Amino acid sequence: MQLCPLCFLVASSIVFASAVGCGTDSSKSATDMSALEGDESHVDAANDSVSQCQQSAARCESSTAIWCDSGEEQRQECAPAGYCNFGECEESAFTLPDDAAPHADVIEWWYYTGHLTTGEREFGFEISLFQQRMEDLMGTTPPEGEEFGFMCHVALLDKDNKEHFYTQGISTKPRTWSSQPVVLDTMNCTLELSGDGHDHIVGVIPEGEEGKGLPGSWAFDLWVDAEKPVVHHGTDGVIPMAQGGDSYYYSFTRMTASGTVTTPDGSEDVTGQAWMDHQWGNFQTMDFKGWDWWSMQFDDGWEIMLFLFRDWDDVIVVKSGSVVDPEGNVHHLDGAGAFEVTSLREWSSEETDGVYPLDWNISIGELDWNLEVRTRFDAQEVPNFAKNYWEGAVEIAGTRGETSVGGVGYVELTGYATDIMAPQ
């Protein structure tokens, strides 16, 4: 089978998903209050507890919603196909850990980026795995055992020396592609997923396979662990993909990372932070020109994801995002006025004809965020004959109301260079 048809679409998919009583039962509360009679200090303490319940806002403890009703703390365990957000149970379109595994939908990807340090050197990384249903791509039934095509992308960024290394490949024969446990292993990408945000990821750029022909073998071997609950984008975990249909979409927006980075100088221990995305659905990415996507992790525990889609006339047709507070509550953004983005300059690639917008001022009016997002350095493009894209580390400064904020992130830009998927 020719692999060029696989490149045509898969590479274009670069990414860029019972109220019960209060804490003690009523009989125990009555007994406790009876035992406190005559002890004024204990009665005052009990009254203080009721007062705090009356005054406290609704909140979440994992998948349990907690709120106050007439001074009594109420708890509700959210359904398995649901989650807690701002003290209320919300519906979810997916269930973990089951939906961490591959699906039979048209297209799917798993994506990690992050920022690492040895204590002296700083790195950024990307690893992405894609699965494409071949029948939808080719229009005919593929041979048995080749129902899906797969693509692996690995990139490592040497922040100190301003060097960007990457490799990519496509295959119809992964080494391992299993659901129980979830092990996705093909070419230079290996992902071992727990389904609850405790994963093992390995990306390798072998000697002779670096995309720009740069020397040396590069790799990272990391354990990443979620510090917050999974984030459902689009309220229930489904977002519109412009004219292309809908996508399931969840993220682990803040993960600790630890392991090793291998450079031509040898292996070094690293620690840092990571971001994970998982999307899948029956949509086609060639139905729109491209997208701009931002992931931002702030030093004070907040995260933001924003994206916009452009049609083939370069008109923005979808704008959406998620703002995650330090407790894991998610404020969903949607609509043309959800946020404003202004690019301050452009960068012209020497590898392709791409002209990419860089360095953005971003405002989220309804939440009073004003941000300056700046690239670490310009040359972070991944040339791909089917779908060129820019995937780069950024640094962030700005304000949330009167509070100064700072952090790091990754930005993905597609549709800014000539691609073979463009309408003829």
User: Each residue of 262-287: pLDDT tens digit?
Assistant: 999 999 999 999 999 999 999 887 77
**What is the structure's pLDDT at 292?**
97
- The Cα–Cα gap between 260 and 204 comes to 12
* pLDDT value at residue 423: 65
Q: pTM for this one?
A: 0.86
Residue that has been written with the tokens 């083939």 in this structure = 312
Are 330 and 84 in contact by the 8 Å Cβ rule? The answer is no
The predicted model gives 11-33 an average pLDDT of: 35
Weakest mean pLDDT among 4-13, 261-270, 310-319, 372-381: 4-13
Please state which CATH number belongs to domain 4-17+94-414.
2.40.370.10
Closest by Cα among 175, 10, 201, 17 to 99: 17
307-338 pLDDT, tens digit each: 999 998 999 999 999 999 999 999 999 999 99
Strand partners, 392: 411
Average pLDDT of the residues in 367-377: 97
What does residue 166 show for φ and ψ, rounded to 5 degrees? -155, 160
Name which of 60, 43, 59, 50 is nearest 24 in CA terms: 50
Whole-number Å distance between alpha carbons of 168 and 388: 12
Number of other CB atoms surrounding residue 54 within 10 Å: 13
Torsion over CA: 141, 142, 147, 153 (sign): negative
User: pLDDT tens digits for 66-97?
Assistant: 999 888 899 999 998 899 999 999 999 999 99
Is residue 187 exposed (0-12), middle (13-18) or buried (19+ Cβ within 10 Å)?
A: buried
φ, ψ of residue 136 to 5 degrees: the values are: -70, -30
Contacts of 98 (CB under 8 A, 6+ apart): 195
Asked whether 175 and 391 are in contact (CB, 8 A), the reply is: no
Sequence letter at residue 88: E
Summarize pLDDT for 94-124 with one digit per residue, the tens. Answer: 999 999 999 999 999 999 999 999 999 999 9
Spans of all domains in the chain? 4-17+94-414, 26-91
CA nearest to 225, candidates 189, 298, 274 = 274
Confidence of residue 41 (pLDDT cuts 50, 70, 90): very low
